[in-house]
Chain A
Amino acid sequence: MSVHALHKHESIEKAQPHLEVVPNLVRELGGITHLLTCGSVDDGKSTLIGRLLWDASDLYEDQRENVRRSGRKAAGTDLPDFSMLLDGLVAEREQGITIDIAWKYFDTDTRRFVIIDSPGHEQYTRNMASGASHADVAIVLVDARSGVKKQTKRHTAILDLVGVKHVVLAVNKMDLVGWSEDVFRKIEADFRTLCWKFNFWDATAIPLSAVFGDNVSAASENMSWYSGPTLIQHLEKTPSRVSEAGSVFRFPVQTVLRDGLDFRGLAGTVTSGSVKVGDVVVDTLSNASGKVIRIATMDGDLESASAGQAVALQLDVDIDVSRGAVLSAPEMRPVAAQTVEARFVWLSEDEFSPTAGYLLRTSTDLVPISNIEIKGLLDLETMASRPARACAANDIAIAKISLGRAAAIDVFTETPETGTLLLVDSITGATMAGGIATSVNSKAEQPVDGHFVLKRDMLANGLNRDLSMSSKDREEFMRRANEVAIILRSAGVSVAIEPPPPLDDGMDPGL
């Protein structure tokens, strides 16, 4: 049954509550999509989320009835005020919680959606970055009357920073611009230009009206010129991060499980790639390796395990590996990093202090930091950095870190799950900042100009000459570049992939 049909048949379902659903009782949904909504209340964010819930989800009847009975109408219309469905969450805003993210769940016929809602006020950088770090796809909401704004630019920059790969520009309130195709195409073009600067795999603009429901779950009759998907159709096709995790095997060891003398299992979740019985795996920190002889779960042993699966690996030799290790294939290892360059979103109310005594939290390791320096702050509107020595809440800081001992870390843009970091205050335990590794080096002193740089032109003319500019091919472009970088790095070459061009060329200066 389509989403559309679900809405229409509501009354029929009520009439015969049991029989219809019994055949797919244990119906398991085809996956989970974590959805971040960015935008301010003025852009119609609550109305859009409310409309999604109303049209496409499995809301309880008492929740629907509340909306109908309230008599509250969307501004200037005779339609129910769908933003009411979020009222509970809005009231809870007064908790004063430091990072303020609300989670809401709904199911369509094929997928579980998790709405991650972060407030749009001025403290939004850290809130949004925190929420976006969990998102598979982000809806960036703009008002059709004002189009792409500075705020849109900052939002997309944050999404890119924390690794969101799929972005939807919801051009809302199309009813207020007379459903004009010209208005939409102009905004769409601005958005394309903006997104070209980032590493998104898919950036789609959809014209809609949250109040009237046009192109939310039902195709708009007012915009016959638009032939693309509705918002919900598009979201249902968006893959999750875990399903798009790269092919490079990573297994951060969480803990060691024992059962008598015969079983010593390395417990963890495969964060990318896959592993099968017979594979040789290595711990890059100790250089110890072994062959996987058993992949254990309570539901029986597996032949292989892939990204997202929580398992326990038993090796043929009893190597001294414990929490903090990241298992990989011998030829595709993470770096046993002594120095890390990273971009951090500063989350804490307390400012950076060079003498505070921070720890670096990696996938499963917690490592003392022997030296940390802030090199600069990133301007989210231009993506240019300016020199700085300090940083505070909501800043994006570029930092250079020397570790007290080596830790297994990847470059985030290549192998995201094992390239994420937290900065932890060693005394209070507080999480000061969340960040991504941009460069990792196994040597204690990193040569400043020693990088081999994989240039985009060079890759485009050779290795990637068969690829077009489509989003699928851009994804493939990055995948190949990442694999080359990983191979070179495993061979001891310090390597970086040329970053996308800076933001200041060809852009409308008003953006």
Chain B
Amino acid sequence: MTASPSHLDLLESESIHIFREAAAQFRKPVLMYSIGKDSTVLLHLARKAFFPQPVPFPLLHVDTKWKFKDMIAFRDRTARELGLELIVHTNEDGIKRGINPIDHAPSIHTDVLKTQALKQALDKYGFDAAFGGARRDEEASRAKERVFSFRASGHRWDPRKQRPEMWHLLNGRLGTGETVRVFPMSNWTEKDVWRYILREKLEVVPLYYAAERPTIVRNGQILMQDDERLQPREGEKVEMRKIRFRTLGDYPLTAAVESDAETIEAVVAETINAQTSERQGRLIDHDQAGAMEKKKQEGYF
């Protein structure tokens, strides 16, 4: 170590501290693993927090069945190579009802296949704490989020029940029926995530790198045709474009950007020079005013 730690060193130490506080205070934690770059960093920090012991909790992936194929392959390989327990949960009831992101409004799809599915999974396994990769810099409604974010029975976020956090003291004593979401990366920014991926030489899903991919332009956004379920509508056509993704989610709801960044260095350079903040590419956020706020109250995060 040099005499003066860099900001990434400080952020890393803080995240490790949070992981350890949560693991020590909660009975049955789980890591919400969404396969994207933030989850990649989150998982890496968890491994550091408990080294040389293996990560002492499982990963949970809420699978909507609309993730990019590359994401699922990456997920399974990561869990296998690191010897981690992976729990995949899908809201089968929602699938049976035919809920999907192409025919339904993104808000309905997200509520049924993400929010409800996550609650089902947490209840099914009895997890009392769930680690997530959310960051306060992502958007305004998260700017006030706590590191330990409490949920009343039914996973509801009650603003009046959020606990003040002072100094480095994290109070994890649960009241009856309460669970908690833990955000070890609260103080990271998007740029930090990329710089850290580069510094730590972390592997990310190839979709973050530019490649020629089949695309459809819809409502001014570039979508990737990841499988046959997404078909061009009248006036649209499938065209090859060199694209990459700044965030990853359900493929019909995730807009790509045209890019030549084929390497991690090029992606980081593009991010650091970015002229727009990252959530512009996430369609669910534009669906309705205060969308994230509402989803949070409903338990999406």
Contacts and interface: CB of A to CB of B under 8 A. Distances in A.
A242 B8 CA distance: 14
Interface stretch (B43-51, B104-112, B223-231, B233-241): B43-51
Main secondary structure of the interface of A (DSSP, over half): mixed
Contact of A98 (B11, B164, B178, B191): B164
Given A88-B143, A105-B187, A417-B168, A29 B7 contact: yes
A30 B4 contact: yes
A130 B166 contact: yes
Contacts of B11: 32
B273 A17 contact: yes
A104 B141 CA distance: 12
B189 A268 contact: no
B129 interface: no
B79 interface: no
A255 interface: yes
B219 interface: no
Nearest to A93: B144
Interface string B1-33: 100111111111110110011011000000000
A308 interface: yes
Contact of A62 (B9, B268, B276): B276
Interface stretch (A425-433, A443-451, A471-479): A425-433
B24 A255 contact: yes
B178 A28 contact: no
A100 interface: yes
Given A18-B273, A100-B144, A257-B52, A130 B164 contact: yes
Contacts of A430: 161, 163, 175
A298 B51 contact: yes
A101 B7 contact: no
Interface residues of A, number: 89
Contacts of B288: none
Contacts of B4: 30-31, 243
Interface in A356-389: 359, 361, 363-364, 366
Contacts of A417: 167-168
Contacts of A133: 166-167
A263 B53 CA distance: 9
A417 B50 CA distance: 23
B20 A267 contact: yes
B86 interface: no
A195 B273 CA distance: 42
A114 interface: yes
A434 B7 contact: no
B140 interface: yes
A75 interface: no
A412 B199 CA distance: 37
A11 interface: no
A353 interface: no
Contacts of A427: 175
Nearest to B277: A60
A98 B162 CA distance: 7
Contacts of A130: 164-166
Given A32-B10, A258-B53, A309 B5 contact: yes
A98 B160 contact: yes
A17 B275 CA distance: 9
A237 B143 CA distance: 26
A133 B169 CA distance: 10
B224 to A, nearest CB: 23
A61 interface: yes
Contacts of A26: 195, 198-199, 268
Nearest to B186: A103
B141 to A, nearest CB: 6
Contacts of B93: none
B171 interface: yes
Nearest to A130: B164
A101 B186 CA distance: 13
Contact of A30 (B6, B174, B280): B6
Interface of B: 1, 4-14, 16-17, 20-21, 23-24, 47-53, 136-137, 139-141, 143-144, 159-169, 171, 173-175, 178, 186-187, 189, 191, 195, 198-199, 265, 268-270, 272-277, 280, 293
16 contacts: A21-B273, A28-B6, A88-B143, A99-B164, A103-B137, A133-B166, A258-B53, A267-B20, A268-B20, A269-B168, A309-B13, A323-B24, A422-B166, A429-B174, A431-B164, A431-B165
